[in-house]
Amino acid sequence: MLRLGHRKNRDKRVSSHVALTARAFGAMGIYFDVADERLFKNIEDVVERWGGKFFVKHVGSWRKIVKEFDGLKVHLTMYGIPLPEKIGEIKKARKILVIVGSEKVPADVFKLADLNISIGNQPHSEVSALAVFLDRVLDGKVFSMEFENAKIRIVPSERGKRVAELGKEVE
Ligand SMILES: C[S@@+](CC[C@H](N)C(=O)[O-])C[C@H]1O[C@@H](n2cnc3c(N)ncnc32)[C@H](O)[C@@H]1O
Protein backbone atom coordinates (compact mmCIF):
# COMPACT_ATOMS: atom_id res chain seq x y z
CA MET A 1 0.00 0.00 0.00
CA LEU A 2 1.07 3.57 -0.59
CA ARG A 3 -0.90 6.31 1.11
CA LEU A 4 -0.26 9.73 -0.43
CA GLY A 5 -0.69 13.12 1.19
CA HIS A 6 -1.46 12.36 4.83
CA ARG A 7 -2.24 15.68 6.61
CA LYS A 8 -1.27 15.16 10.25
CA ASN A 9 -4.18 16.93 11.86
CA ARG A 10 -7.02 16.31 9.43
CA ASP A 11 -6.22 12.80 8.19
CA LYS A 12 -5.00 10.88 11.23
CA ARG A 13 -8.22 8.91 11.64
CA VAL A 14 -8.66 8.12 7.95
CA SER A 15 -4.97 7.26 7.52
CA SER A 16 -5.21 4.95 10.50
CA HIS A 17 -8.29 3.32 8.95
CA VAL A 18 -6.51 2.93 5.61
CA ALA A 19 -3.65 1.11 7.36
CA LEU A 20 -5.93 -1.08 9.49
CA THR A 21 -8.08 -1.95 6.49
CA ALA A 22 -5.00 -2.83 4.45
CA ARG A 23 -3.76 -5.08 7.26
CA ALA A 24 -7.10 -6.76 7.98
CA PHE A 25 -7.82 -7.44 4.31
CA GLY A 26 -4.44 -9.02 3.52
CA ALA A 27 -1.90 -6.35 2.49
CA MET A 28 1.72 -6.78 3.64
CA GLY A 29 2.33 -3.22 4.74
CA ILE A 30 1.93 0.46 4.11
CA TYR A 31 4.16 3.34 2.99
CA PHE A 32 3.38 6.94 3.91
CA ASP A 33 4.98 9.91 2.18
CA VAL A 34 4.43 12.02 5.32
CA ALA A 35 6.08 11.10 8.62
CA ASP A 36 3.67 10.96 11.54
CA GLU A 37 5.32 9.07 14.39
CA ARG A 38 2.17 9.01 16.51
CA LEU A 39 0.14 7.44 13.73
CA PHE A 40 2.89 4.91 12.97
CA LYS A 41 3.13 3.98 16.66
CA ASN A 42 -0.65 3.44 16.86
CA ILE A 43 -0.58 1.10 13.87
CA GLU A 44 2.45 -0.75 15.25
CA ASP A 45 0.66 -1.14 18.59
CA VAL A 46 -2.25 -2.80 16.82
CA VAL A 47 0.14 -5.17 15.02
CA GLU A 48 1.86 -5.96 18.33
CA ARG A 49 -1.42 -6.88 20.04
CA TRP A 50 -3.38 -8.38 17.15
CA GLY A 51 -0.46 -10.16 15.44
CA GLY A 52 0.82 -10.60 11.90
CA LYS A 53 3.74 -9.04 10.07
CA PHE A 54 2.28 -5.81 8.69
CA PHE A 55 4.92 -3.08 8.15
CA VAL A 56 4.59 0.72 8.36
CA LYS A 57 7.26 2.82 6.65
CA HIS A 58 7.85 6.45 5.89
CA VAL A 59 9.26 7.10 2.41
CA GLY A 60 11.17 10.28 1.60
CA SER A 61 10.20 10.12 -2.05
CA TRP A 62 6.98 8.35 -3.03
CA ARG A 63 7.97 8.69 -6.69
CA LYS A 64 11.11 6.63 -6.03
CA ILE A 65 9.08 3.85 -4.37
CA VAL A 66 6.62 3.80 -7.26
CA LYS A 67 9.29 3.89 -9.96
CA GLU A 68 11.40 1.18 -8.32
CA PHE A 69 8.56 -1.16 -7.30
CA ASP A 70 9.02 -4.49 -9.10
CA GLY A 71 5.37 -5.41 -9.51
CA LEU A 72 2.07 -4.01 -10.71
CA LYS A 73 1.33 -0.44 -9.61
CA VAL A 74 -2.39 0.21 -9.20
CA HIS A 75 -3.69 3.69 -8.42
CA LEU A 76 -7.25 3.77 -7.07
CA THR A 77 -9.16 6.73 -8.44
CA MET A 78 -12.76 7.46 -9.31
CA TYR A 79 -11.51 8.59 -12.75
CA GLY A 80 -10.04 5.18 -13.61
CA ILE A 81 -11.17 2.04 -15.40
CA PRO A 82 -13.75 -0.02 -13.47
CA LEU A 83 -12.08 -2.81 -11.49
CA PRO A 84 -14.09 -5.68 -13.10
CA GLU A 85 -12.57 -4.78 -16.50
CA LYS A 86 -9.01 -5.28 -15.23
CA ILE A 87 -9.38 -7.80 -12.43
CA GLY A 88 -7.94 -10.66 -14.55
CA GLU A 89 -4.76 -8.73 -15.27
CA ILE A 90 -4.44 -7.60 -11.65
CA LYS A 91 -4.87 -11.11 -10.25
CA LYS A 92 -2.00 -12.37 -12.43
CA ALA A 93 0.45 -9.98 -10.73
CA ARG A 94 2.90 -11.48 -8.25
CA LYS A 95 3.21 -8.23 -6.30
CA ILE A 96 0.93 -5.21 -6.25
CA LEU A 97 1.49 -1.68 -4.98
CA VAL A 98 -1.90 -0.08 -4.32
CA ILE A 99 -1.84 3.72 -4.26
CA VAL A 100 -4.55 5.83 -2.62
CA GLY A 101 -4.73 9.57 -2.06
CA SER A 102 -6.16 11.78 0.63
CA GLU A 103 -7.03 15.10 -0.98
CA LYS A 104 -6.04 15.75 -4.58
CA VAL A 105 -3.19 13.47 -5.72
CA PRO A 106 -0.22 14.81 -7.72
CA ALA A 107 -1.04 14.60 -11.44
CA ASP A 108 1.92 12.37 -12.32
CA VAL A 109 0.52 9.48 -10.23
CA PHE A 110 -1.80 8.78 -13.14
CA LYS A 111 1.22 8.29 -15.42
CA LEU A 112 3.49 6.49 -12.98
CA ALA A 113 0.85 3.87 -12.15
CA ASP A 114 0.46 0.88 -14.47
CA LEU A 115 -3.30 0.97 -13.95
CA ASN A 116 -5.74 3.65 -12.80
CA ILE A 117 -8.66 1.74 -11.36
CA SER A 118 -12.05 2.90 -10.12
CA ILE A 119 -14.36 1.32 -7.62
CA GLY A 120 -17.40 2.88 -9.21
CA ASN A 121 -17.03 6.31 -10.81
CA GLN A 122 -18.47 8.29 -7.90
CA PRO A 123 -16.40 9.97 -5.19
CA HIS A 124 -16.26 8.07 -1.90
CA SER A 125 -13.31 7.22 0.30
CA GLU A 126 -9.86 5.69 0.18
CA VAL A 127 -10.95 3.28 2.92
CA SER A 128 -13.95 1.93 1.03
CA ALA A 129 -12.04 1.87 -2.28
CA LEU A 130 -9.22 -0.10 -0.68
CA ALA A 131 -11.55 -2.56 1.06
CA VAL A 132 -13.46 -3.38 -2.11
CA PHE A 133 -10.24 -3.63 -4.13
CA LEU A 134 -8.54 -6.01 -1.69
CA ASP A 135 -11.67 -8.09 -1.19
CA ARG A 136 -12.14 -8.61 -4.94
CA VAL A 137 -8.48 -9.18 -5.77
CA LEU A 138 -7.78 -11.48 -2.80
CA ASP A 139 -11.13 -13.31 -3.07
CA GLY A 140 -12.41 -12.63 0.43
CA LYS A 141 -9.14 -13.37 2.23
CA VAL A 142 -10.38 -11.03 4.99
CA PHE A 143 -12.56 -13.93 6.23
CA SER A 144 -9.73 -16.40 6.63
CA MET A 145 -6.77 -14.29 7.67
CA GLU A 146 -4.49 -15.76 10.35
CA PHE A 147 -2.38 -13.36 12.42
CA GLU A 148 0.62 -15.10 13.94
CA ASN A 149 1.90 -14.19 17.41
CA ALA A 150 -1.32 -12.36 18.28
CA LYS A 151 -1.75 -11.46 21.96
CA ILE A 152 -5.45 -11.03 21.52
CA ARG A 153 -8.01 -12.74 19.30
CA ILE A 154 -11.77 -12.42 18.96
CA VAL A 155 -13.89 -15.52 19.39
CA PRO A 156 -16.83 -14.90 17.04
CA SER A 157 -20.13 -15.08 18.83
CA GLU A 158 -23.80 -14.47 18.13
CA ARG A 159 -24.04 -11.86 20.89
CA GLY A 160 -21.67 -9.95 23.15
CA LYS A 161 -17.89 -9.75 22.99
CA ARG A 162 -15.67 -12.79 23.43
CA VAL A 163 -11.97 -12.13 23.42
CA ALA A 164 -9.21 -14.67 23.94
CA GLU A 165 -6.00 -13.30 25.48
CA LEU A 166 -2.78 -15.39 25.44
CA GLY A 167 -4.36 -18.68 26.31
CA LYS A 168 -6.93 -17.36 28.76
CA GLU A 169 -10.43 -16.44 27.71
CA VAL A 170 -11.96 -13.17 28.81
CA GLU A 171 -15.69 -12.45 28.64
C1 LIG B 1 -11.51 11.50 -0.60
S2 LIG B 1 -10.85 10.94 -2.07
C3 LIG B 1 -10.24 12.39 -2.84
C4 LIG B 1 -10.69 12.57 -4.21
C5 LIG B 1 -10.14 13.86 -4.82
N6 LIG B 1 -11.19 14.84 -4.83
C7 LIG B 1 -9.58 13.65 -6.20
O8 LIG B 1 -9.89 14.41 -7.08
O9 LIG B 1 -8.79 12.71 -6.38
C10 LIG B 1 -9.37 10.17 -1.52
C11 LIG B 1 -8.96 8.93 -2.26
O12 LIG B 1 -10.02 7.98 -2.23
C13 LIG B 1 -9.90 7.11 -3.33
N14 LIG B 1 -11.20 7.05 -4.02
C15 LIG B 1 -12.29 7.80 -3.76
N16 LIG B 1 -13.31 7.47 -4.56
C17 LIG B 1 -12.88 6.45 -5.33
C18 LIG B 1 -13.47 5.65 -6.35
N19 LIG B 1 -14.72 5.83 -6.75
N20 LIG B 1 -12.72 4.69 -6.91
C21 LIG B 1 -11.44 4.47 -6.52
N22 LIG B 1 -10.83 5.19 -5.57
C23 LIG B 1 -11.53 6.17 -4.98
C24 LIG B 1 -8.76 7.65 -4.21
O25 LIG B 1 -7.59 6.91 -3.96
C26 LIG B 1 -8.63 9.09 -3.71
O27 LIG B 1 -7.33 9.61 -3.91
Q: How close is the Cα of 1 to the center of ligand 1, in Å?
A: 15
Percentage of residues in the chain having pLDDT higher than 70: 96
Question: Residue 65: which domain range?
Answer: 2-144
Q: Classify residue 171: in a domain, yes or no.
A: no
For residues 109-126, give the mean pLDDT.
Answer: 98
Residue 167's pLDDT band, with cuts at 50, 70 and 90, is low
Pocket test for ligand 1, best of 30, 77, 83, 137 (most atoms within 8 A of CB): 77
Total tally of structural domains belonging to the chain = 1
Query: What is the number of the ligand 1 atom nearest to the C-alpha of 121?
Result: 19
Q: Is residue 26 one of the residues assigned to a domain?
A: yes
> Is residue 122 a part of any domain in this protein?
yes
What CATH code is carried by the domain that includes residue 65?
A: 3.40.1280.10
pTM above 0.75, yes or no: yes
Contacts of 70 (CB under 8 A, 6+ apart): 95
| Nearest CA owner, ligand 1 atom 2 | 125
Let me know if residue 163 belongs to a domain: no
Ligand 1 first shell, C-beta below 6 A: 76-78, 100-102, 104-105, 118-120, 122-126, 129
